[in-house]
Amino acid sequence: MSNLSEQASKLEAKIKKLIHLHVALQKDCTTLKSDNELLKTTIHKQQEQIRQLEEGNKALQLAKALMSNDDSKDSTAMKSKINEVIRDIDSCLALLNK
């Protein structure tokens, strides 16, 4: 009989240990999920900042091309930018006509 009660108490101790580990893992999981969401938000903000910086860089290059007297390379950049703007306007007009 004592052997059976010994086994029962060992089993009970193991179950308590498993419950404790389960609770700890749940807390870790919750923490990791919140960290993951925070990192996703940070990534999104940084991607938006990169996009804005790239747009600013394009505008700066265009302004530099307008102020420069070199006709070869800078005029090509201006022409491509003008063509890009025209394509955007055309697509907007097409959407309005639908």
pLDDT band for position 79 (cuts 50, 70, 90): confident
- C-alpha–C-alpha distance, residues 83 and 41, integer Å: 35
Read off the pLDDT of each residue in 44-58 and give the average, rounded to a whole number.
94
High-pLDDT (> 70) share of the chain, %? 91
Helix 2-67 / helix 72-97 crossing angle, nearest 10 deg? 110
Rg (CA), the chain: 32
Residue boundaries of the structural domains of the chain: 2-67, 70-98
The pLDDT score that the predictor gives to residue 25 is 97
Beta strands in 19-68 (DSSP E): none
pLDDT tens digits along 10-37: 999 999 999 999 999 999 999 999 999 9
The pLDDT score that the predictor gives to residue 2 is 79
* Distances, alpha carbon 58 to alpha carbons 3, 42, 62, 77, in Å: 81, 24, 6, 10
